Structure 1
């Protein structure tokens, strides 16, 4: 309650229980109600069998595993998409992402180097990566930014149209 678990806590517990990273799909935390995971049927069976020997621990808290049908899942709420427009001096990842997510450029550089940013679903560690229209930037726990248009301005800058989800 005072130190809520996040998705990485659940993911780490599942990996410690013998799950392979490729077996794990989307995982979302449901506040203080635990988490839900899309997993392969084989992983689900292994986890249910392991639960008979003892509960899975997330940090130090025992959790129960149960199989749900897709109709029973409670999907996370999605924020309403918001269209943003910005003029930037460059199309570098750190500049565009900082404008799109409303963070300072130095904070964005730190997040990129820490591995919290993905570009087109692939981990990226270089803040100087040049972006083009169609690129998608995902920031852990902050959403996704799609670059819809990149146009040069008269003053040798770049006008960007972005969609933030």
Structure 2
């Protein structure tokens, strides 16, 4: 029995990386800090390291509700503190009266710096305020690079983490029946759209499962998957509860706009 059989084939590369981190911490007897990880990657790290006694892991994304988090993998002697995660918070200063900035524009500007997505944490919006988290090691480079977002001339203001916009998790739970666990049928059931429509969304690259674009309608969904459909929002498969008498799947899903 291998560790890989519990995961999808496309996750093997990341699993190898986690195992390598674990072995490095064991060998060097020193902590290892990762870039920001999406929730699926966090789950894999927790599964592989979480129950280990000699090597431990903590996750932090700048605030308690953060979706993207850095993992600190450390030997048992190490006392983990929030400052060990090396996360900085920035607020975007821009002419709010004259212009609107949206999430894709902020992410696009951050990515245009040539840095990997893992260097950036959550992007937070509240009314006209915009903030984002970054790894401390790139903040100096970033503050020089970001002069505009969309059509807006902007500046960045560094803030203490305690000043982060406070957001709440807004999953609404619902029960649905799906004829199979195929991606197209699950999307159809949760978002109440036709299967033809869900297949079109998948084929046009508008669907992600666990932050990875999936263009195969027959892709099989599993419990705890997070499915993002552009224009419709997100759903999380909280539980796959078995089959009905008519051989259909009962699914408990969380829905988020």
What TM-score results when the alignment is normalised by the length of structure 1? 0.77
Contact 1:91 1:131 in 2 (8 A): yes
Structure 2 unmatched ranges of 5 or more? 1-96
Contact 1:29 1:36 in 2 (8 A): yes
In the TM superposition, what whole-angstrom CA distance separates every residue of 1:108-133 from its partner, at most 9, and x where no partner exists?
A: 33333344433234332212112233
Per the alignment, residue 198 of structure 2 pairs with 108
In the TM superposition, what whole-angstrom CA distance separates every residue of 1:49-107 from its partner, at most 9, and x where no partner exists?
A: x16xxx6111111112011221001033432x332222222221121123223444333
SS in 1 for 2:190: helix
Per the alignment, residue 146 of structure 1 pairs with 237
> Offset at 1:19?
3.3
Q: 1:103 to 1:74 in 2, by over 3 A?
A: farther
The yes-or-no answer on 1:47 pairing with 2:47 is no
Per the alignment, residue 37 of structure 1 pairs with 132
The yes-or-no answer on 1:137 pairing with 2:137 is no
Find 1:70's aligned residue among 161, 166, 181: 161
User: How many pairs are equivalent?
Assistant: 159
Contact 1:24 1:37 in 2 (8 A): yes
> Offset at 1:138?
3.3
Q: 1:24 to 1:159 in 2, by over 3 A?
A: same
What TM-score results when the alignment is normalised by the length of structure 2? 0.53
Structure 1 unmatched ranges of 5 or more? none
